[in-house]
Chain A
Amino acid sequence: MVKNPRWIVYLLTFIALLFIPRILSIHDLMLFEYGMTFAIVGLGFNLLLGYTGLLSFGHGAYFAAGAYTVAMIAKYLPQAYALEILIPAALFFSMVLSIIFGFVCVRHTKIFFSILALSLSMLLFALLFKLYHITGGSDGLRVPLPTLFGMSFKGIRRPEFLSGTYYYFLLGMFSVSFLIMKGIVSSPFGKALQAIRDNEVRAELIGIRVRRYRLYAFVISGMFVGLGGALWTFVNGHVTADLSHWVFSGEIVYMTLLGGFGIFEGPIIGAIIFTYLKLYAMGNTQYWMFVIGGTLIVLVLLLPNGVAGAFSSLWAMIKKKSD
């Protein structure tokens, strides 16, 4: 494992991330935490896009499933409002939702898959929006600070919570997600997904049950996105039905493209950049959507492999010259 220079970079990055709360201001740290939760989302989303070849415009639904699991438990089951219960619960409900939605979606590919995923997420959006008495409708639900293994954070302000215990909890969750996903994509299972992505006819003819494996990928992807959604709620403190709206799903696609879906680390880089880009664009101009849209156009035209892809190509060029 350590023989590979890539793992040395991962290890150094992890060590650097341990010191982030001491370096960044609380405002920038919160933004970074948003970025980390989206990085987990990106890892999950890219299993479907980059490794299975399915573009979903409805992954906001699984993000919402994770986020609303936390918010609903806070409202209706406060005695179970502990991180060690909330995370497995969020994983469970995002898994259930992605099994149901995935079962319908994986029967199709390409644009039909994308539109189906989008439609189903909008169905969830309509439910979250209309069932006001249960979900809080357009007002959404507030998310208080949870407990962790009996540790209570009562009386602590959210920024303090986020810059202390929670940051390290989040870093731990991100690291575990990273390692699990890295294992998945390089495993025989991951190779089967890549075979399906490249040539589903041949994949079927080497004995891979294409539809079934697409569903597996869909569910794993949904669970990662649900986990990201659950972790995001503690940073944000509030959930609304917009999380299941296609616009939010579009942002997940955007950040994955920004980082580059052809490279494992791409969506992580994309998630961090997108978080800062969106906030600074929103803070500086009311035409922030132009900035986001303009970046997307530049990206598609000049950097089709995203930021990580561009760096990777540059590195390959330097290496070739030095050889």
Chain B
Amino acid sequence: MLTIDNLKKHFGSVKAVDHVNLKITEGEIVSIIGTNGAGKTTLVNLISGYIKPDSGRILFLDKDITYASPYIRIKLGVGRSFQLIQLFSNCTVLDNVRTALFSKYGMIRRGLLPADRYASVTDEAIKILDSFSMSDKKNLTPKGLSEGDLKILDIAIAFALKSKLLLLDEPTSGVATNDKFKVMDSIVKAIKKERISTLIIEHDMDIVSGYSDRVVVMHEGKVIAEGKPNEVMENKEVKATVFGIVS
């Protein structure tokens, strides 16, 4: 699905991403962990096309997308959510998702009939909201939602684009502790159902170990460990650099 080959991005003397190699297969949920400044968000920005690398390659479905625009990547099936939620704040929850669907189906040039007339798209948007347990809030604007619901809606928009690869940047940051698992349950349920490959940046180790198939650990731009969650948590180098535990 996704192959990252020797990817490098430096900002002056800061080695944000330093010769990183990574593979994600279909339907796999991979988490990236690391201390602040480890290069996690830069890596996601490189994959989504937000910034361009200095060298290396990014292959998605065997296509070289290293220098493709974000628009092309979205059309190919790379979707993302943000650490700081990015929503259409004055549009209803339904319109937030429905606009993404209109875009996905190339219908946003249709300019005379009301959006409600496209019943199949509206139904699909409601179905997506339903799968995230949000259809009862479809007529609210994001201003009336809790932080957890905002995160879910942010992901539902990326989900509506029928992304084959989802990049989730800290999907539970800012969410109340007791809501975190509820948020992740509804996200992962929808992801698993559609067999979407997912790359998650996360700080919360309970979330990482509870929902990931594989964990990648980054430190100072490099991948220092990779494997199943319990294996990685036991890795001495990871313990020392990420958790600050010296045994």
Contact = CB atoms under 8 A, between A and B. Distances in A.
B87 interface: yes
Nearest to B113: A187
B103 A208 contact: yes
A198 interface: yes
Given A183-B114, A186-B116, A207 B80 contact: no
Interface in B164-201: none
Interface of B: 48, 70-71, 74-75, 79-80, 86-91, 95, 98-100, 102-104, 107-116, 118, 121, 157, 160-161
Contacts of A201: 86
Contacts, number: 94
Contacts of B70: 204-205
A205 B102 CA distance: 13
Contact of B103 (A194, A199, A206): A206
Contact of B91 (A183, A189, A191, A208): A191
Contacts of B114: 183, 186-187
A235 interface: no
Range for the number of chain A residues in contact with chain B: 20 to 34
A201 B107 CA distance: 20
B100 A206 contact: yes
A209 interface: yes
A223 to B, nearest CB: 13
Interface in A259-316: none
Contacts of A202: 86-88, 157
A66 interface: no
A255 B239 CA distance: 64
Contact of B99 (A183, A184, A186, A195): A195
B179 to A, nearest CB: 23
A12 interface: no
Interface centre among A189, A195, A204, A207 (most CB of B within 10 A): A207
A158 interface: no
A311 to B, nearest CB: 19
